[in-house]
Structure 1
């Protein structure tokens, strides 16, 4: 009997402990942790409401990225007819609404029969159509402006992407999370401008139509549909970029036709160094960006081996330091290492101007050797004077952000490996022709071309002009900004302009193809040897960088094809077509 009592006591105690634990858990769920349940800080009240709510998101509440003319880079906004599922249970003026929307009554009734959630029906409505439909005040029928992501992406690397990231939320937005201003599932920027301007773009409040349903999806509190939206007239903000969407779209079409797989282009306004258009390939896979994380990387902000593009720096130093004799000739039948070249690569005796136009390696390796003997830091000095030794994107203090950067993914250029000896003649010669450890971002090369076209004035590159309040007022303006440090003299800039023009106008110039363009072009080609593949074919980076029109420079343009074959690269064709497109759009 004693054993039975003990067992009953143990069982009763276990039941009571279990009940206490269950009640404690219920108290935690219903009374204590209602707004921050579990490690994921789930708001149980919101989740409960969401379970019995159907909604149509009109605007996600995140700040917008717009071009220089105010056109969205990511979304389209259109007036659309929205119908709710409970219409199938009631009489409503189907024929009248169908007539106003330009649809057949049959289309509307059939759509409602199949509907399980609020749905857009038909095409875009005019302002008057929207007014007439809403004037009927039919429950479950709304004509509203709806924001939709564009089907065809444009400037995807400029815009970047958003995604849920618990790590970023907890690292950067603890206070907002604690205050309930955002949740752990709020999308944040993980690349492009979405990332660099993320704190400004965080959603204020979604705009949506919603109603409550029972477990079968029927109206819980009648047929009352509510509109919720941000009442704040100032937020969310617009980030007004310097990009021209019309130009961006046209030039992306050029890229798509070219078949270029890795690389891209940068187009700058010469006067301001503002980005007018920019594209990187491969394109971002927005549906599954992490399937190929390299696609998220903007190649235009990543240092690449430039080849003969770097001869522009050597030319600047040679001009300014008087290292070039008027009648001096260079034997371009020899390589930089004093070996006789194959017959097809021989260029004969060339002067300085012709050497630049025809891109003779021997001339610039000899000049670099002279520079090194005079001052081992000279190459670095002139790279700095042309804006190649520092980040070129706009940076500065913006509110509480110290050294805020518009291009958060921009990487630093390199000329030397830390262990390189700048007095080693062989390393100096390789650096002079843009090989070995010389790596430049296409953005910085485009800015160098703009600097030369401006007469040597260095400016940072800007891609955002202003942060605007929702009502159009200015929250912050990014003024044009000079780059620090010394610059080339106006005379040197003038001589570089002449050399860059010779590349195109000379019969043997590496840019002679551009002679037939409606705009006159000045520029420099570049081919950097990367490696030799298994079939013994050279893999190269193929560049062309320049500005146009020469008489009154408006644009600086860089096109680069990365890890390609020199004989099949579309670099020059892309440059040609872009210049032609811009002429036709002017």
Structure 2
């Protein structure tokens, strides 16, 4: 009997404990943690409403990016026809709506009959609508039928790498904005300008059409559809970039037509030090290979003979550019016989224009004996070591960066290599451990063209409120560590022009352009081979134009290509010839 009582007592305790656990769980669900339930912090109220709501997102509320002329770079809008499923049970003038939408009545009715959620039809879905059609549709006042301008994320976007992209990243969201109450599904900036300006672009609220349904999908409170929108005059904001959409498309087309598979191009307005266009290959594909996510114009790459500008600048500053000096350019960088390219005996200037490796080996060995740090010091003065993108204070940000992915350049990985004659020779011509970003090289060209004044590169000019008033303007900024003696800059200008005017110069082909070009070519060995055993190289051309009154600095890189396929010069020529140049 005692055992039976004990068992009954135990069962009662277990049942009571179970009821207590269930009661606590219900209290959590309905009272205590309705807005942040579980490890994923789910808002149960929002989820409950979502289960009995059908909606059409018209605008996600995120701010937009525009070019310097006000053209949209990110999301736009397109005229669309919205049809809610409940109209299949109503008598509605489908033929009249189909006519306004430029569609077949049969197709329109078929789409509605099969729909379980709202149907959105626009130009890409067989409809042909404009704003006038939307007004006529809405004038009919048919419940469940609406003509609206829906946010559009076109597939053919320009400047995709510099703009970047957004993604759902709940963990990053929580870490980046610990004090903000944002849905875990909100998309945040993952790269590029979307990442740099993310806090400014974050949505305040969405614009949408919605209605409530029962378990069978029928209207719960009649056929009235609600229009939910943010009435703020200030948000969302627009970021006015310095990009020029027409030039951006010119650049992208030139790279694609030339078949550049890895690399890209950078174009800077020299006077304002603003980025006009930047394109990277391969094209960005957020669902593709990891390599496509990189903006190679902000990655450090081997520059090859572009780096001879550093050695030349140091030689000028140290008085080693003697016009009477002669160099045996039939020799390779190490003093042995040159196998591929015999140039004869050349002076300093011609050695530069024809890119003689031996001359720069001799100069570098003389320079490093005078100053062991000459190379990194000169590279820093030319802006090839530290980031050159705009950085400064923006509201509570002490170090706001417009180019968040921009990498630093390198000269030496191991400073002990300075005692190796072979390592010094390789470094002087942009090989071994030398790396620089295409953006930094473009800025170096702009610095030389300006006469030695270094400026930070801007890709955004202003943040604008929704009503068009200014929230913040980005001022011009000088780079204190990038400064070149005016005489040295003038000498470099002469050398860069000679690259084109010398009949055997490495840029002689640009003499056919209707304006003067100054620049430098570069070929860097990557140490890799393609499947056929061909050496892969980085092929560059960097320069500015018109030479007499510099307007543009342009850099083109065809990376990890083979010599016979290298297209850097071709792309440079095509971009330059497509610009509106007035000397």
Into which bin does the TM-score normalised by the smaller protein fall?
over 0.9
Q: How far is 1:270 from its partner?
A: 1.5
Given that residues 156 and 284 in structure 1 are in contact (C-alpha distance below 8 angstroms), is that contact kept between their aligned partners in structure 2? yes
For the pair 1:473 / 2:469, whether they are aligned, the reply is: yes
Deviating more after overlay: 115-124 vs 17-26: 115-124
1:93 is matched with 93
Instruction: Give SS of 1:174's match.
Output: coil
Q: How far is 1:378 from its partner?
A: 2.4
Instruction: Give SS of 1:387's match.
Output: coil
1:217-232 equivalences under 5 Å are 217-232=217-232
- Equivalent of 1:325 in 298, 316, 322: 322
Distance 1:253 1:218 in 2: 50
1:151 is matched with 155
Given that residues 239 and 460 in structure 2 are in contact (C-alpha distance below 8 angstroms), is that contact kept between their aligned partners in structure 1? yes
2:27 is matched with 27
1:195 is matched with 195
- Equivalent of 1:401 in 387, 392, 397: 397
Deviations 1:453-511 (A, max 9, x none): 12222111111111111111111111111111362232322221221111112211111
1:477-496 equivalences under 5 Å are 477-485=473-481, 487-496=483-492
Deviations 1:361-398 (A, max 9, x none): 11111112222222222223322222222210000011
Distance 1:102 1:484 in 2: 61
- Equivalent of 2:378 in 345, 360, 382: 382
1:53 is matched with 53
Q: How far is 1:154 from its partner?
A: 1.9
1:138 is matched with 142
Q: How far is 1:61 from its partner?
A: 0.9
Given that residues 503 and 523 in structure 1 are in contact (C-alpha distance below 8 angstroms), is that contact kept between their aligned partners in structure 2? yes
Instruction: Give SS of 2:309's match.
Output: helix
Instruction: Give SS of 2:406's match.
Output: coil
- Equivalent of 1:359 in 352, 355, 363: 355
Given that residues 539 and 566 in structure 2 are in contact (C-alpha distance below 8 angstroms), is that contact kept between their aligned partners in structure 1? yes
1:178-577 equivalences under 5 Å are 182-286=182-286, 288=287, 292-342=289-339, 344-485=340-481, 487-533=483-529, 537-577=534-574
Given that residues 519 and 579 in structure 1 are in contact (C-alpha distance below 8 angstroms), is that contact kept between their aligned partners in structure 2? no
Change beyond 3 A, Cα 1:507–1:33: same
Distance 1:563 1:532 in 2: 8
Distance 2:223 2:482 in 1: 71
Given that residues 79 and 122 in structure 2 are in contact (C-alpha distance below 8 angstroms), is that contact kept between their aligned partners in structure 1? no
Deviations 1:406-440 (A, max 9, x none): 11111111111243343543332221101111110
Given that residues 67 and 242 in structure 1 are in contact (C-alpha distance below 8 angstroms), is that contact kept between their aligned partners in structure 2? yes
Deviations 1:492-535 (A, max 9, x none): 22221221111112211111222222333211000111215386
Q: How far is 1:137 from its partner?
A: 2.1
Q: How far is 1:84 from its partner?
A: 1.0
Given that residues 518 and 583 in structure 1 are in contact (C-alpha distance below 8 angstroms), is that contact kept between their aligned partners in structure 2? no
Instruction: Give SS of 1:580's match.
Output: helix
Runs of 5+ consecutive residues of structure 2 not aligned to the other structure: none
- Equivalent of 2:178 in 153, 174, 179: 174
Distance 1:396 1:381 in 2: 24
Q: How far is 1:126 from its partner?
A: 3.0
Instruction: Give SS of 2:70's match.
Output: coil
Deviations 1:540-581 (A, max 9, x none): 211111112223222111111222222321222221222222
1:75-86 equivalences under 5 Å are 75-86=75-86
Distance 1:135 1:410 in 2: 52
Q: How far is 1:42 from its partner?
A: 0.5
Given that residues 453 and 482 in structure 2 are in contact (C-alpha distance below 8 angstroms), is that contact kept between their aligned partners in structure 1? no
Distance 2:10 2:377 in 1: 85
Given that residues 240 and 468 in structure 1 are in contact (C-alpha distance below 8 angstroms), is that contact kept between their aligned partners in structure 2? yes
Runs of 5+ consecutive residues of structure 1 not aligned to the other structure: none
Distance 1:63 1:310 in 2: 40
Given that residues 169 and 184 in structure 1 are in contact (C-alpha distance below 8 angstroms), is that contact kept between their aligned partners in structure 2? yes
Change beyond 3 A, Cα 1:585–1:28: farther
Instruction: Give SS of 1:280's match.
Output: strand
Distance 1:122 1:202 in 2: 26
Q: How far is 1:444 from its partner?
A: 0.2
Distance 2:370 2:121 in 1: 75
Instruction: Give SS of 2:453's match.
Output: coil
Q: How far is 1:122 from its partner?
A: 4.5
For the pair 1:160 / 2:157, whether they are aligned, the reply is: no
Distance 2:482 2:448 in 1: 14
Instruction: Give SS of 2:389's match.
Output: coil
Distance 1:250 1:118 in 2: 39
Q: How far is 1:304 from its partner?
A: 0.7
Deviating more after overlay: 4-13 vs 393-402: 4-13
For the pair 1:12 / 2:16, whether they are aligned, the reply is: no
Given that residues 100 and 129 in structure 2 are in contact (C-alpha distance below 8 angstroms), is that contact kept between their aligned partners in structure 1? no
Deviations 1:31-86 (A, max 9, x none): 11100001111100000000111111111111111111222212231222211111
